[in-house]
Structure 1
């Protein structure tokens, strides 16, 4: 590892000196468009022939971005920009010699399908953030907030604005009318905004830009042109109020004797969302009793390793502007703020006596939440979130009709504050975050933290035309609670302080707090020439805990990583571009043990016919896991080699596909994996799109953990050989009647089945050979009766210990049909039908039979709801 790191440092040093001049030479002069105040107001119907547009000049001379950067595009594009006191008006002329080939694909809002134009406005002029407005040739609108200088694009933003498009004999045209109230800018005599226009010719997979940005240039928003002429603009403070009403009916299989499961439920709900412009830079978002009934169901998943599963946030209130609150401090999904903790399912289930039934809440009700967020003209990015979830009670009835309540979740307050400050001509920033979770335990819930706090600072600095960067962060956490709560935290999968061979941590059942730290530092080259590289370190101390309002999968880890890439960015007769990269990482724990070492090579090719190929090869010569035996000794995995291969067809065609294969082989075939992926996209006509994604995975693991038991004065860590097969199919249908009315269907059956055999127990957990790591049970030591395995390890005729049959077959079926109508801008009507169910089937059945039984033989739960919103705008 030291040799590899030394070589990489030498390459970086040479690259910095060799390419610095090249980066400076590639600097492109900024283009400027000067807008004027309109005299007449145009009608936004997609046509651009009105004389209202005659007061400003056309701008053109677009340059191709992909596939052949720096050349003349197949067809040119023109635009005009004018304004009045409240709106920005933009006209687009997209020339095309073959208008009959223009792709007018209808889709839902933010579908981004077909020929389209993106208008990119950096009204903050911070050179890192932009508001992006998209119009397709079919008149479908889309909006995104681009952050991180173009590295992150968030389409959850849904402002009110107006657009339309038309196809004619010269190509197609579009008009946009954007309220200044939907943008953010400061007070200046003349506004100077970053500005660019991007045109996509879908059938050719070709993009062109008004302001040229070379492919080897680091950054995107920072390299945009400029919009001038916005003089004496009066900031428009935003005020939007959106009440909603939901009517819901649930139908499900009745349970005999259960008064709470009589076969159906009916309820009416309501709430309010509001958006208030405190200044033109900063906005206050409020929600009271939010409803997320139309949100798509989470995908099926099952975790055999014991660690928690990360699911993406899908609830609109938390998705919008999530980039402002984001604080990813390490690798993977680790984050100081994970909004799905707010409104989570209750921590407890009710305690029922014989003959009692309970009506338990599915989620904690959010009494109210507020977000104060935005970015000021002088470079401050600010986000403050406050939310309160209610005491949640299970209602319980006995056989004699008695009724009582039992609390299952305490009143909880969540607070998050985030800030960043740009400086050094927007080439650098420094920021911080603070989170707090406080629970009103009221003498109850001794297993939960009473309070949890975390904080961190982050920074990023770029230089030499943003070609080089250094970034990092450092965080701390502090949790408080009863001895029971803190002991539970010490025993959790993320920590396991009871590990028998750990000398740097120990379980202390008398503690009432834990304090931990973590962080990340990375340096690298991100632009200029053909080389890219980076290296860095991540660490998480053993006592770090973020899971009250953040996400943290594992602690006690130090990761060293490095990567080097070479890019072929000039198309040839064979390919459009190629990306080849080498990666290396190593992990250690805070005791000094090296737990992992991995090397990987990957190549991505975009072929000249718009097909793509991805190939990766990897080798893992060292692999240990501290948590595998759930508090037992450190476990050694077999050495691994892996390969993955994906290829896909031209996505601009009516039908396209992606196929993939992943293969992992281990020494002594201890833990082998094969995975097959196939995705099909089909658009039979412009209004209908179909997507089918199927994945099949098969794992054979000879040492899958099952349980831990006592054998005299010893611990027995019991393992078995698992044949684990998983199958999922996700179907999506989108039918767009017009740009404001659509019908969407989502369906996913998922099954994961595990069959166990060849049971064994741990002998020498870190031995190099499998036969030394484990000891197999002989036929005379193990017997099976009534779904229980009886072990007579000492062969004295008496059962020494037992464990339950671990075989499983988890089956989940989820569907969601949503009809959406945006009857006026910002106001919507939803009609939703959801059907689904979860069951555990007989593991002896085949995967297809289990799926068929779940869908056709089992009675599923149906939900019908109507949700109406109306947005009042001032």
Structure 2
């Protein structure tokens, strides 16, 4: 069955007709590319002769908020573009009657801050879906991003390019040099590129673009202008090396360890459109901390990826949600089996070491994206000693493992795509292997008004090679996403055997449901609003295995942005009585569930104007159940308060406080062969955070990140779950389950870009983790007890140097 379905998917994929159409951008602006013999000096001063007698991109049009309005005479923009054998060069002259008031906050790379900015969108294949962005702020900060599938902006993608800016008496100026090594383009004697220029003017709360972007239909990437007749430019050898060296010292509970590492990342252009990225002897000693919280639910906590290799250029590999990169190099998959009365663990590897990783990705001239990913992790072991015989044995907790992804993504019509993706995990020895395959589709009509979106997926798990376990998932919807009124309706299911969690993440399977929404949005300013929207959603849920109805969710949401840049919104959410088949931790196929009562939730959020020195984000929420459990009313509530203050263009701080309280919550605590026990508990959580930065210059900054999460959970009563009707019954169960949980992290980071693409980073972390049963103490007593726990201190220095093969070749 598996081979037949896979063959059918491949036949459908490769027989898809590829039709290129341009229906939304018929009146695109055009200018001629001008070839030069000598490059301008990139200094932000437009006095080079080459800028004379060059076609000007001008007459910008407002993108937002008043879409389609012409630029004011006081804030006109003029852009010029020239090129030679090595790069394209762009100058932008941006008039402003009050140059001294132009927002220009210093930030580190890839952060906008409170600054005006100029942006270049470049799409050499002119497909309307996959441009790259190069941005310079009024403070001189460089920002770059790769856009995929019209909406996904990957700011982890980084290129090496040059820029300079000046604030003048008439406004401000940008000069840019973008080397061809930063772009992917065809090797043709004459070619034209899709390009657009954006200008953000914070004081006017507006963004303007050279080629008009209509917000009624399609995506902004489909509205590029055209730079015509680039002649005789040859794609260079795209080969870059990033050798690194790092040293780390860690002190914990009086013991100090020192470690060092050296390795290299490599980027190589295999062809004019495909790039190989490799990390050899990877080092992730300076990644940020995870926002760990107390988890009493039936599902794992999902963490954000912070390793650069797994965040940059992975847009092809994340299609279909079959790739959760934290699976690679995470905790071992096999628990250690130890005789607690007669054995002692001498050494245990709690983290899997990644040995190397490679990814190849690109897109052909016909719009076919191809991606290949491979990573290899080392074996981990636990060393165990017999207390009587002193015999030592080793138990493998994670074998030598190989992770693979293969993706084929055919784009067409500048708005649609069909994707085939396969992920595979192969583990050495008597461990499970896993395979997942998905066929995905997103098809829009030529005017980008209506779309059909969906997927069919299959997983194959081999704990025993003779008895593979195959599962399926399906999801499809049809909707309208253009104009003021939008809607969608869809159906999805995952059967009981669908399991992509060896390389992906799925919290629950054996589910099916009907879902959808309808919404209205304001697309032009009206009254006090720049825009606003109202949405109503619904979900009708069933088990897939037995078709058991489990409950319905529905809600109404509202959001708005005012002309004074105050953003706010809220939600009213409703859930019927629900059968929860996951909280009892028995699997969703054996008929055991917990009855959850009817629930109503209301929440509100707001955000003030970030252009001002002082700004505040806030939210609050309240949830209550319509029925009692065991005669007890349940409710939960909380709030968040996050003020930020910008002292000057270089220094800013953001403080965050989040508080939540759940009263008389009921949840799983334990089980034995015959019984499942639940507890009635109060759950209080505090989350304090502080982030700050001091930016010495656009290439040098000091940043602080602090977070303390505290949760206390005292239990009041215990009950036994009736496995026939999902109700709770009295019991004599009395074990201890109170929890007092603390996670403390403080990171201090200094980064200096001492040369293009090269960095020196010094890093310090202080971390404390504590979990005990003292669930009744107050905040300050808890803090005193936390500081008595052993602290871990980590200090690391890392040097990365950028080497471009083309420059190296010239030197040699």
TM-score using structure 2 length: 0.91
Q: Superposition pairs for residues 498-577 of structure 1, below 5 Å? A: 512-528=467-483, 530-577=484-531
2:424 corresponds to which of 422, 429, 436: 436
1:624 aligns with 2:587: no
Kept in 2, the 8 Å contact 1:707–1:803? The answer is: no
| Whole-Å separation in 1 of the counterparts to 2:625 and 2:596 | 9
Q: Which residue of 1 is the match for residue 289 of structure 2?
A: 297
1:373 corresponds to which of 348, 361, 373: 361
Give per-residue Cα distances to partners, 1:122-146, cap 9 Å, x unaligned.
1231211110011001110011111
Kept in 2, the 8 Å contact 1:727–1:847? The answer is: no
Q: Which residue of 2 is the match for residue 259 of structure 1?
A: none
| Whole-Å separation in 2 of the counterparts to 1:465 and 1:658 | 38
Gaps of 5+ in 2: 1-21, 806-812
Kept in 2, the 8 Å contact 1:350–1:360? The answer is: no
Which SS does the other structure have where 1:129 is aligned? Answer: coil
Q: Which residue of 2 is the match for residue 827 of structure 1?
A: 758
Q: Superposition pairs for residues 810-849 of structure 1, below 5 Å? A: 810-846=741-777, 848-849=779-780
> Structure 1 pair 244/350, CA: closer, same or farther in 2 (3 Å)?
farther
Q: Which residue of 2 is the match for residue 15 of structure 1?
A: none
Q: Superposition pairs for residues 75-86 of structure 1, below 5 Å? A: 75-86=75-86
Q: Which residue of 1 is the match for residue 662 of structure 2?
A: 699
Q: Which residue of 2 is the match for residue 475 of structure 1?
A: 457
Q: Superposition pairs for residues 210-225 of structure 1, below 5 Å? A: 210-225=210-225
1:34 corresponds to which of 29, 32, 35: 32
| Whole-Å separation in 2 of the counterparts to 1:376 and 1:428 | 16
| Whole-Å separation in 2 of the counterparts to 1:726 and 1:204 | 41
1:746 aligns with 2:705: yes
| Whole-Å separation in 2 of the counterparts to 1:62 and 1:575 | 23
> Structure 1 pair 235/854, CA: closer, same or farther in 2 (3 Å)?
farther
> Structure 1 pair 763/542, CA: closer, same or farther in 2 (3 Å)?
closer
| Whole-Å separation in 2 of the counterparts to 1:808 and 1:342 | 30
2:597 corresponds to which of 631, 638, 645: 638
Shift of 1:855: 5.2
1:346 corresponds to which of 332, 344, 358: 332
Which SS does the other structure have where 1:221 is aligned? Answer: helix
Kept in 1, the 8 Å contact 2:718–2:734? The answer is: no
Shift of 1:523: 1.1
Q: Superposition pairs for residues 57-456 of structure 1, below 5 Å? A: 57-74=55-72, 75-113=75-113, 114-149=115-150, 151-254=151-254, 263-328=255-320, 335-348=321-334, 356=344, 358-394=346-382, 405-423=394-412, 425-441=413-429, 443=430, 448-449=431-432, 451-456=433-438
Q: Which residue of 1 is the match for residue 729 of structure 2?
A: 775
Which SS does the other structure have where 2:795 is aligned? Answer: strand
Shift of 1:853: 2.6
Give per-residue Cα distances to partners, 1:367-395, cap 9 Å, x unaligned.
11111111121111111011111112345
| Whole-Å separation in 1 of the counterparts to 2:53 and 2:532 | 45
TM-score using structure 1 length: 0.85
Kept in 2, the 8 Å contact 1:477–1:515? The answer is: yes
| Whole-Å separation in 2 of the counterparts to 1:428 and 1:653 | 41
Kept in 2, the 8 Å contact 1:811–1:840? The answer is: yes
| Whole-Å separation in 2 of the counterparts to 1:251 and 1:398 | 30
| Whole-Å separation in 2 of the counterparts to 1:763 and 1:551 | 31
> Structure 1 pair 735/395, CA: closer, same or farther in 2 (3 Å)?
farther
> Structure 1 pair 89/847, CA: closer, same or farther in 2 (3 Å)?
farther
| Whole-Å separation in 2 of the counterparts to 1:612 and 1:672 | 28
| Whole-Å separation in 1 of the counterparts to 2:526 and 2:797 | 54
Q: Which residue of 1 is the match for residue 809 of structure 2?
A: none
Q: Which residue of 1 is the match for residue 640 of structure 2?
A: 677
1:730 aligns with 2:719: no
Shift of 1:351: 5.9
Kept in 1, the 8 Å contact 2:25–2:222? The answer is: no
| Whole-Å separation in 1 of the counterparts to 2:722 and 2:652 | 55
Shift of 1:81: 0.8
Which SS does the other structure have where 1:804 is aligned? Answer: coil
Q: Which residue of 2 is the match for residue 53 of structure 1?
A: 51
Q: Which residue of 1 is the match for residue 18 of structure 2?
A: none
| Whole-Å separation in 1 of the counterparts to 2:51 and 2:469 | 65
Q: Which residue of 2 is the match for residue 589 of structure 1?
A: 543
Shift of 1:689: 2.2
Give per-residue Cα distances to partners, 1:411-446, cap 9 Å, x unaligned.
0011100111123x33432110111111112x5xxx
Kept in 1, the 8 Å contact 2:667–2:678? The answer is: yes
1:651 aligns with 2:601: no
Shift of 1:282: 0.2
Shift of 1:401: 10
Give per-residue Cα distances to partners, 1:704-733, cap 9 Å, x unaligned.
2222235xxxx3322221101111122111
Kept in 2, the 8 Å contact 1:765–1:774? The answer is: no
Kept in 2, the 8 Å contact 1:124–1:375? The answer is: no
1:718 corresponds to which of 677, 682, 693: 677
> Structure 1 pair 363/25, CA: closer, same or farther in 2 (3 Å)?
closer
Shift of 1:814: 1.0
Shift of 1:361: 2.8
Give per-residue Cα distances to partners, 1:628-685, cap 9 Å, x unaligned.
2122612221001111101121122122111101111111355422121112222111
Kept in 2, the 8 Å contact 1:748–1:814? The answer is: yes
| Whole-Å separation in 1 of the counterparts to 2:215 and 2:547 | 42
| Whole-Å separation in 1 of the counterparts to 2:679 and 2:45 | 69
| Whole-Å separation in 2 of the counterparts to 1:219 and 1:412 | 41
| Whole-Å separation in 1 of the counterparts to 2:158 and 2:274 | 17
Shift of 1:567: 1.1
Shift of 1:60: 1.2
> Structure 1 pair 691/546, CA: closer, same or farther in 2 (3 Å)?
same
| Whole-Å separation in 2 of the counterparts to 1:350 and 1:601 | 48
Shift of 1:763: 3.7
Shift of 1:72: 2.7
| Whole-Å separation in 1 of the counterparts to 2:144 and 2:25 | 29
| Whole-Å separation in 2 of the counterparts to 1:355 and 1:462 | 63
| Whole-Å separation in 2 of the counterparts to 1:458 and 1:428 | 11
